[in-house]
């Protein structure tokens, strides 16, 4: 009798051990994404997370922070993947770790982008449908802003105009502050840094809806550029010589490769995920359309990502094997 009981207990113990080993083998490492604070990177995070979770079976997480903090996290391995790196803005901060092998660039997400100082087009051309007359018909370049600062007065300091710049903590905030000085716009304008991406977009939209004058930093792709008629002010043609901190970034922002990069350890931990990210490629127009959908439907970036996956199968199904695509489609439909 004792032998039978011992045999049963032994079988149960072996079964428990085998089950534990099976579960451990099946468990997959969590893939951590960076959120440096703007909507388009959150949209791309959502697309990648949905595919990785539903198609490859990996849990995912997002860590938020400034550009500097999240990029440091990528280098140190606290963050696995960065879906939208504005490479020229970061310069050696990005290319240095690439050369050292600390991070790996998997692909170029998109390269049809723009950024700089924008004004509502009605300031230059007017808007007959809204009864708005052109107030700055000669405004073409950032240097022309010197002639119209009184139309863009800073309510807190009426002796100067106001330029709405980048949220703090973004690398471009440093660039814009230097540009305002190198172009001597600081003699006519105060540079104001809104607290967040949403605060910046809110002030632009509020001015636009009232038909008021405003000059602000923004970029494409974004829902703002997808929904509003804005004009990018011209600058000196881009040159590597002028685009330095010492020279105050005294030229236009170059269209750049917006890269996807991963920590050096991810290829060993999740090779199939890195393979997927190596095929990930979109356009500014795709992201702007998804973000416009998000705003019009009052949903979040993850919902916009699912909308993209449902409506653009012609794009994303080329990034993954057929069986993975089928798993994702089954999960979102």
pLDDT category at 23 given cuts 50, 70, 90 is very low
Which of 174, 197, 232 lies at the terminal end of a domain, its last residue? 232
Q: Is the pLDDT of residue 26 over 80?
A: no
Q: What is the pLDDT of residues 152-170, one digit of tens each?
A: 999 999 999 999 999 998 9
CA-wise closest residue to 307 among 295, 319, 324, 323: 295
Rg (CA), the chain: 25
| Shared domain check, 158 and 195 | yes
| Shared domain check, 121 and 104 | no
Q: What is the pLDDT of residues 217-253, one digit of tens each?
A: 999 888 898 889 999 999 999 999 999 999 999 999 9
Residue 118 and residue 218 in contact, taking contact as beta carbons nearer than 8 Å = yes
| Shared domain check, 123 and 99 | no
pLDDT, position 21: 45
80 by Cβ neighbours in 10 Å (0-12 / 13-18 / 19+) ranks as buried
Residues 34 and 42: their CA atoms lie apart, in Å, by: 9
Q: What is the mean pLDDT of residues 115-140?
A: 97
Residue 123 and residue 139 in contact, taking contact as beta carbons nearer than 8 Å = yes
| Shared domain check, 65 and 118 | no
Q: Which helix (H) or strand (E) holds 191?
A: strand 189-192
Confirm whether 8 is domain-assigned: no
CA-wise closest residue to 224 among 279, 274, 311, 287: 287
Using the structure block, give the residue that is written with the tokens 């973004």: 170
| Shared domain check, 313 and 261 | yes
Residues 319 and 269: their CA atoms lie apart, in Å, by: 20
Tell me the residue range of the domain where 224 lies: 114-232
Residue 154 and residue 139 in contact, taking contact as beta carbons nearer than 8 Å = no
Name residues whose C-beta falls within 8 Å of residue 95's C-beta, 6 or more positions apart in sequence.
Answer: 87
How many domains in the chain?
2
CATH number at residue 65: 3.40.190.10
Dihedral sign from CA coordinates of 274, 275, 279, 280: negative
Residue 190, SS3? strand
CATH number at residue 144: 3.40.190.100
pLDDT, position 22: 45
pLDDT, position 9: 55
Q: Is the pLDDT of residue 1 over 70?
A: no
pLDDT category at 14 given cuts 50, 70, 90 is low
pLDDT, position 133: 97
Residue 290 and residue 40 in contact, taking contact as beta carbons nearer than 8 Å = no
CA-wise closest residue to 158 among 149, 171, 166, 146: 149
Name residues whose C-beta falls within 8 Å of residue 123's C-beta, 6 or more positions apart in sequence.
Answer: 134, 135, 136, 139, 151, 213, 231
pTM above 0.85, yes or no: no
| Shared domain check, 128 and 90 | no
| Shared domain check, 210 and 269 | no
Q: What is the pLDDT of residues 252-267, one digit of tens each?
A: 998 889 999 999 999 9
Residue 37 neighbours by CB distance under 10 Å? 19
Q: Is the pLDDT of residue 65 over 80?
A: yes
Residue 317 neighbours by CB distance under 10 Å? 16
Q: What is the mean pLDDT of residues 102-114?
A: 95
CA-wise closest residue to 282 among 258, 249, 254: 258
Residue 186 and residue 252 in contact, taking contact as beta carbons nearer than 8 Å = no
| Shared domain check, 69 and 107 | yes
130 by Cβ neighbours in 10 Å (0-12 / 13-18 / 19+) ranks as exposed
Using the structure block, give the residue that is written with the tokens 């995070």: 45
């Amino acid at each position: 009798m004792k032998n039978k009981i011992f045999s049963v207990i032994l079988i149960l113990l072996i079964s428990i051990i085998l089950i534990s080993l099976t579960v451990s083998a099946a468990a997959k490492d969590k893939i951590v994404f960076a959120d440096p604070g703007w909507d388009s990177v959150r949209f791309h995070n959502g697309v990648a997370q949905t595919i990785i979770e539903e198609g490859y079976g990996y849990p995912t997480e997002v860590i938020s922070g400034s550009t500097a903090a999240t990029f440091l996290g990528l280098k140190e391995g606290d963050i696995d993947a960065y879906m939208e790196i504005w490479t020229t803005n970061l310069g050696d901060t990005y290319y240095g770790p690439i050369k050292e092998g600390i991070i790996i660039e998997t692909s170029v997400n998109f390269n049809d982008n723009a950024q700089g100082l924008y004004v509502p087009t009605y300031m230059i051309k007017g808007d007959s449908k809204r009864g708005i007359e052109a107030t700055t018909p000669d405004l073409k370049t950032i240097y022309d802003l010197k002639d119209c600062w009184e139309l863009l007065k800073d309510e807190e300091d009426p002796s100067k105009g106001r330029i709405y710049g980048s949220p703090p903590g973004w690398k471009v905030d440093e660039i814009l502050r230097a540009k305002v000085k190198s172009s001597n716009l600081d003699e006519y304008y105060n540079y104001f840094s809104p607290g967040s991406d949403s605060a910046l977009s809110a002030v632009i939209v509020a001015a636009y809806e009232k038909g008021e004058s405003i000059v602000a930093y923004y970029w494409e792709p974004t829902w703002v550029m997808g929904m509003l008629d804005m004009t990018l002010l011209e600058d000196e043609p881009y040159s590597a010589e002028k685009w330095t901190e010492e020279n105050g970034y005294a030229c236009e922002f170059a269209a750049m490769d917006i890269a996807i990069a991963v920590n050096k350890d991810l290829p060993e931990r999740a090779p199939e995920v890195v393979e997927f990210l190596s095929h990930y490629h979109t356009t500014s127009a795709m992201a702007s359309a998804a973000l416009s959908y998000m705003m019009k439907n009052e949903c979040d970036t993850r919902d916009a990502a699912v909308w993209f996956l449902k409506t653009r199968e012609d794009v994303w199904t080329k990034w993954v094997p057929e069986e993975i695509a089928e798993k994702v489609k089954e999960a979102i439909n």
